Amino acid sequence: MSPDREKDFDLVERHLSGRASAEETRTLEGSLGADAELRREFLRYAHVDAALTTMVRPVAQMPLVAEKPKSVVWRSQIVRWAAAAVLLLGGALALWMPRGVEVRVMAVSDDAASVWPKDGVKHLREVRLDHGSVQLRLGSGVRLDLNAPVHLRLADAMHATLLAGRVTADVGEFGKGFVIETSSARVVDLGTRFGVSLGNEGATDVAVFQGQVEVSSTVQTAKPTLLSTGDAVRVHPSATPRRLHCINTRGESFAVMTSPPPDALVTDISDNVDDGGTYAFYTLQTGQMRTGARPYSTLGKPRWQPMPGEAFPTALEGADIIGTFSPDRNDPNLQLTMRVSRPCTVFLMLDARAEVPDWVRRDFVEAGFQLRSGPWADNPVVQGMTADASGETFVTYIVWKRSVPAAGPVKLGPPYPEKDGRFRAMYGIAVK
């Protein structure tokens, strides 16, 4: 046994024997709150101690002659003493039983603030959110973003079970190894930000916004699936993980995995890319087209920006953004299909340096304004470009548009022929 563990058990013994000081009691309370194994040992010790105290009498105190029969009053007094002892033990155990996992409320929406006051601290075993959204920080440093409706069970600061809804976890510096389980999947963090959603039929969706996770089925015995930034899978209780094409998100940095709105304009996105070769996802950001929004699902630095000296185009403000997968610019055979629920306008942002594809000239017309993205980090997309006066590099796009008269599929082709996209940007998409 380690010296630290011996010290913990010495404190347990001193507390149960009534010899612990106030400072020792506070130290023990902190240790019990942070160590699940110590809590179990404490309860086991307490049960044994109570049993020995109430059931075993020292030999020296055993009567040498037969005792006289106890009166009814005496028996009643014994019963009262026993009941008091049970209540006292129950109160002590209740005091020292784990009070739940400590969580601090870091952010909360207005409609949930009455239940989850900002900066408040709670000790919880379960989290239920019926309306609004809340961000919680666990003692491990892991941050959980929750959007109603959601039901989450907390085993400890490094392990949670999602019972309904969706949660996004940011593990921070010390949360590596954090686990989220559902009825169909087990997700183990490898240092990342990821989202998990549990559907009504038991399927689990997992998307990685940054870093890596391991995903395994709770039913299948196959080797865990490794997901990296920009990957997403759906784990069905009776099937192996399969690529998940589209993830609904909110926040400039895809901060939170959300559910599609009831009146969603874009209802589905798919492509002809072989599922066996990639788990890449498209992002759908409902109503978030504006300055600072992200064009791509995996590139975090470039953001949509107006042209210098101009306001952001009014025609694009508030549109739904489909975050495309930047490496798709190298696929000359790409076929992307999105389904819309009603008449709308589809905007396509094409790198102004490249030749316009034939399918764009056939189905789209120029919108009459431009947009740009940036600033870009070191990337083949901006190789050979000249930085502006501030030292930043931006890519200019010509905006094209297409009127879609009814609900149904809208098909888009490859951005460039013959793999000419290495030094050009993948196109962006907005729907309004």
Residue type, 153: R
Q: pLDDT-derived band of residue 41, with 50, 70 and 90 as boundaries? A: low
37-46, 104-113, 329-338: lowest mean pLDDT where?
37-46
User: What pLDDT is recorded for position 418?
Assistant: 67
More confident residue, 230 or 200: 230
More confident residue, 229 or 8: 229
pLDDT, the chain, mean:
81
For 421-432, what is the mean pLDDT? 90
Q: Give per-residue pLDDT as tens, 241-295.
A: 888 888 888 765 445 677 788 899 999 999 998 756 678 889 899 999 999 999 9
Half-sphere exposure of 12 (CA within 13 A, CB side): 22
User: What pLDDT is recorded for position 130?
Assistant: 92
Crossing angle, helix 3-16 and helix 22-34, to 10 degrees?
Answer: 120
Please, which residues have CB within 8 angstroms of residue 219's CB and are 6 or more apart in sequence? Answer: 184, 237, 238
More confident residue, 2 or 383: 383
Q: Give per-residue pLDDT as tens, 131-182.
A: 888 999 999 999 999 988 999 999 999 999 999 999 999 987 777 899 999 9
More confident residue, 135 or 72: 135
Q: E-assigned strands of 109-175? A: 121-124, 126-129, 133-138, 143-156, 159-170
Q: Give per-residue pLDDT as tens, 103-119.
A: 999 999 999 999 999 99
Strand order in the sheet with 320-323: 256-257, 246-250, 282-285, 320-323, 428-431, 344-351, 395-404, 365-374, 303-305
| Domain locations along the chain | 3-96, 100-244, 258-432
What are the structure tokens assigned to 255, written together?
Answer: 């901060």
What are the structure tokens assigned to 168, written together?
Answer: 């996004």
User: What pLDDT is recorded for position 3?
Assistant: 61
Q: Is the pTM of this model over 0.85?
A: no
User: What pLDDT is recorded for position 44?
Assistant: 57
Tell me if 86 sits within 8 A of 110, measured CB to CB: no
Q: Give per-residue pLDDT as tens, 311-331.
A: 999 999 999 999 998 888 888
Q: Is the pLDDT of residue 96 over 60?
A: no
Instruction: Report the C-alpha dihedral over residues 183, 186, 192, 197, rounded to 10 degrees.
Output: -20
Residue type, 402: R
Tell me if 348 sits within 8 A of 428, measured CB to CB: yes
Best-predicted range by mean pLDDT among 36-50, 75-89, 237-251? 237-251
Q: Is the pLDDT of residue 347 over 50?
A: yes
| Angle, alpha carbons 90-91-96 (nearest 5°) | 100
Q: Is the pLDDT of residue 60 over 50?
A: no
- The residue among 269, 249, 277 whose CA lies nearest residue 261 is 249
Q: Is the pLDDT of residue 380 over 50?
A: yes
% residues pLDDT > 90 (the chain): 46
Q: pLDDT-derived band of residue 375, with 50, 70 and 90 as boundaries? A: very high
Determine the Cα–Cα distance for residues 268 and 284; give it in Å rounded to an integer: 9
Q: pLDDT-derived band of residue 229, with 50, 70 and 90 as boundaries? A: confident
Domain 100-244 maps to which CATH number in 1.10.3720.10, 2.60.120.1440, 2.60.40.1120, 2.40.50.140? 2.60.120.1440
